[in-house]
Chain A
Amino acid sequence: MKIALFASPAEDAVRYLRQLGLDYVVHGMPSTPHGTLDYDQLMRTRDFFAAAGLSWDVIENLNPEHYYQVMFGLPGRDEQIDNVCATIRDLGRAGIGVLQYQWMLLGGLRTEYSPTGRGGARYPRFDMEVAQRYPAAALDWLGEGGKPYPHLPDRELDGEQVWDNLIYFLERIVPVAEEAGVRLAVHPDDAPVPSYMGVARIMVNLEALQRVIDAVPSPCNGLGFCQGTIGTMAGVDMVEAIRRFGSQGKIFFAHFRNPRGQVPCFDEVFPDEGDTDMVEAVRAYRESGFDGVMRIDHCPGVIGDNPRADRSFAYQVGYLKGIIQSLDLEKEA
């Protein structure tokens, strides 16, 4: 298991990762106005990380603005798919083996970020009751995201339409990914509610994750296994879910996060106080043969932290390392 943090190609950011003892970084590059990546910039970024001793194996995410027409099944989608294919080929040339993308038509949803947590830590929260009262305010991670495209929907879409659009997309990009040696990892809908403002959210349960895998069978079609999102799907047992998809070899990339609660209401808490026993979760990843990159995901806000949340992420890196090294000891015994 390769622990990583998301980082930009900046000296202090990479030094911080190295100080925490990380060998892997996850990064998301901005697209060009045409919706492709700049290959030269991609290589420069990759080389910058490599020079700092960091391996960049996963890119996360594509800018949804550049496949918006595809998600909504609108005219112009084929041109956007061509751009995504060009990006995949460039990633293959650069040796970046995993592309995580999301299929959240309205982006990530949250309703609060308040000091309601342990010691007054700020926990990101989603509460469907609040979201129904102020639906627009919950879009794009409470407006804290990059706002890459209009989120307010101008039409309604049901689940099968969204599925059709996804499969149309996959049927065209998966063969390109196979050729390029890039594995495609879809991120589930966060928050995993079945519909929002009249637009279906399809990746909201384990059956849906299986359906994506089965719809276009390929060694390059799999999951960005966001533990934080999957843990908030109604009725999910996280450890069983890891074993189910891990044993199929379909976890291409994982997010380490441990929420408390499931839809319709959950909090993103510290990893030692969420609903999942994270020791058992890590054990399940290892036993199911997952050896990919695991990025520490969102974290609670702690006092005096910087915008990069170094303090909170340091806690989580230490926590994950502590579990892994202790499990290694168990193995030795």
Chain B
Amino acid sequence: MHVALTIQVDRDDQFILAQQLGIAHVIVETDSWETDDLTTARNRAEQTGLQLVGVECLQIDPHPADPEAQFDHVARIVRDAGTAGVSQLFYQWTSPANPAPEPTAVGRGESLVQPQLESTAFSADEVRGFLERLAPVAAESRVRLVWHADGLLATDIDRWLAADAPFGTWHGIELCSAALAAIPSADFAEILGGWISTQKITAVHLRGLRSGESGPVGAFLDEGEISIPRTLRTLRTANFDGSVRAAPPPGLVDDTAWGHKGRAFDTGYLKAVLQTLG
């Protein structure tokens, strides 16, 4: 298990900060999906001595207007990722009509926090056909597709893991905090450990969450309803060997949009927890 940091592809300072904070693994964020863009992402990580875990975040619509066109587009990107030497593509099932809510200053110390994103509703059955067609492309390209499953509820995970099994190593799930928050406390280790044992969870995306007036809101990693030390201890006990990374942090005073201060805090926190767990 390693701590990874999400870096914007065109920001040198973020690569350098990652190195300075002692990060070895990065997930590079891009909006451009041509072969050259993917090659650039890999090169920039390697040139700064960092290991590229994957590139994010490809948006895939579970209810596309033109399913064929979307499949061709994604398949092309998967092939290009293979050509560029990018081994993992992180993606989200999301509708274009699903804008991110504006953050508000209701976090600790009036930090800016975002309400939990409203996820696009869809079922495993609706996307199975798409993934079945894509799996051979991914296998041939030696690229794993990782679903950044921020809307996945704990109650649905078993079903998804079962549905995902046929795709072998070419598809995985990045587990997110909303799912962790919903696990009953007494069964936490057993349930999370069970998910990890399927070997379909390839990454974990951590975000502090606490109850807000109209649903859960983001929080710092050291506060809220999810115990990060407990989560990481469970992952370690279950021999999880993927990436753990923090979600975008709450907005601190005079911080950048990317959140240099907040991400430094998160990185120190996650590294210390892993070091303490041994």
> What is the interface of chain A, defined by CB distance below 8 A to chain B?
12, 15-21, 117-121, 270-273, 278-279, 300, 302-304, 306, 310-312, 314-323, 325-330
Contact = CB atoms under 8 A, between A and B. Distances in A.
**Residue among A271, A319, A322, A330 with max Cβ neighbours from chain B (10 Å):** A322
A315 B265 contact: yes
B194 interface: no
Contact of B273 (A16, A270, A325): A325
Contacts of B233: 329
B184 interface: no
B70 interface: no
B223 A272 contact: no
Contacts, number: 148
B20 A19 contact: no
B28 to A, nearest CB: 17
Interface string B109-134: 11100000000000000000000000
29 contacts: A15-B253, A16-B261, A17-B109, A18-B108, A19-B107, A19-B108, A21-B220, A21-B222, A118-B20, A119-B19, A272-B268, A279-B276, A302-B17, A302-B264, A303-B13, A303-B17, A304-B17, A304-B260, A315-B267, A317-B265, A318-B221, A321-B222, A322-B222, A322-B272, A323-B272, A323-B273, A325-B228, A325-B273, A326-B276
A312 B276 CA distance: 20
B277 A326 contact: yes
B51 interface: no
Contacts of B21: 119, 270, 302, 315
B254 A325 contact: no
Binding site secondary structure of chain A: helix
Given A311-B261, A314-B268, 13 more contacts: A16-B109, A16-B253, A21-B109, A272-B22, A303-B20, A311-B264, A314-B252, A316-B268, A318-B221, A318-B266, A323-B272, A325-B227, A328-B229
Given A325-B222, A326-B272, A326-B277, A19 B253 contact: yes
A312 B228 contact: no
Contacts of A278: 272, 275
A272 B108 CA distance: 26
A269 to B, nearest CB: 10
Contacts of A19: 107-111, 220, 250, 252-253
Nearest to A310: B261
Contacts of B268: 271-272, 314-320, 322
A12 B253 contact: yes
Contacts of B110: 15, 18-19
B22 A118 contact: yes
A315 B107 CA distance: 19
Given A19-B109, A304-B260, A321-B222, A272 B267 contact: no
B272 A319 contact: yes
A206 B273 CA distance: 31
Q: Which of A17, A19, A120, A300 counts the most B-chain CB atoms under 10 A from its CB?
A: A19
Q: Which of A12, A300, A326 neighbours the largest number of chain B CB atoms within 10 Å of its CB?
A: A326
Interface of B: 13, 16-22, 107-111, 220-223, 227-230, 233, 250, 252-255, 260-262, 264-273, 275-277
B16 A318 contact: no
Contact of A12 (B18, B19, B229, B254): B254
Contacts of B253: 12, 15-16, 19
Contacts of B220: 19-21
A50 to B, nearest CB: 15
Nearest to B18: A119
A206 B223 CA distance: 38
A327 B233 CA distance: 12
A314 B261 contact: yes
The 5 closest A-B CB pairs, nearest first, are A119-B19, A322-B272, A18-B109, A318-B268, A19-B109
A41 B228 CA distance: 42
Contacts of A121: 20
B5 to A, nearest CB: 12
Of listed A18, A21, A270, residue having the most chain B CB within 10 A: A21
Nearest to B232: A326
Between A21, A315, A321, A330, the greatest number of chain B beta carbons within 10 A of the residue's beta carbon is seen for A315
B260 to A, nearest CB: 5
Contacts of A272: 22, 268, 271-272, 275
A273 B275 CA distance: 11
A20 B22 CA distance: 20
Contacts of A327: 276
Contact of A118 (B19, B229, B267): B19
B271 A302 contact: no
Given A120-B16, A322-B270, A15 B109 contact: yes
Contacts of B266: 318
Contacts of B227: 325, 329
A319 B265 CA distance: 7
B43 to A, nearest CB: 18
Of residues A16, A318, A319, A325, which shows the largest number of chain B Cβ atoms within 10 Å of its Cβ?
Answer: A318
A320 B275 CA distance: 11
A88 B10 CA distance: 54
B21 to A, nearest CB: 6
A119 B21 CA distance: 8
A19 B108 CA distance: 5
A326 B254 contact: no
A122 to B, nearest CB: 9
Contacts of B261: 16, 310-311, 314
A325 B16 contact: no
